[in-house]
Amino acid sequence: MANTARDKIREAHADKRDPNLERSLDAMVHDSSVRLEAWLAAEQSSPSQKVERQELLLQVSEALTRLPADQGDAIIRHHLMGEPVSEVARHMGCTKKAVAGLLYRGLNKLREILDAGSRS
C-alpha cells in the first residue's frame, strides 16, 4: 500500500522533483498508512483479527493498482492522505466536480474489484 501511494505521489510531482519533496513523501506515506490502519483497526484485536486486517490492507492495495490512474490518484490523495477535494483538484489540474466524479467512479470500481475478489 505504501509503495502504491508513494508511486502515485511521485507520478503527480514528476515534473517538480525536489529533494525536500522526497523526504516529505515518506512522511505522507507513513501518515496515510497510519490512517488506513487506524481505520481498519479495533481497540482490542486478537491475532487472527490482526491477520485479517493485514490481508484486507493487501487486497485494498492490490485493488488500487487496478483502477485507472486518475481514479487511483484521487482516492489515494483524498482518502488515504486526507487532502481536501479542492487540494486534490489543484494537484490534478481539474475542477472539484471532476475530482468528485473520479472519487465516485473510483470507489465504485474499487468495491467491484474487492467484491469480485471475495467471491473467488
Domain residue limits, the chain: 2-119
Alpha carbons 23 and 105: distance in angstroms, whole number: 31
Q: What is the pLDDT of residues 11-50, one digit of tens each?
A: 665 555 555 544 454 555 556 666 666 655 555 667 787 7
Q: What is the pLDDT of residues 79-110, one digit of tens each?
A: 888 899 999 999 999 999 999 999 999 999 99
pLDDT(64) > 50: yes
pLDDT at 85: 93
Cell of 7: 508511486
Alpha carbons 28 and 33: distance in angstroms, whole number: 9
Q: pTM to 2 decimals?
A: 0.60
Average confidence score pLDDT of the chain = 78
pLDDT(114) > 80: yes
Helix (H, G, I), strand (E, B) or coil at 23: helix
The CATH number of domain 2-119, selected from 3.40.718.10, 1.10.10.10, 2.40.50.140, 1.10.560.10: 1.10.10.10
- Helix or strand run (H / E) with residue 30: helix 19-40
Q: Are 91 and 105 in contact (CB under 8 A)?
A: no
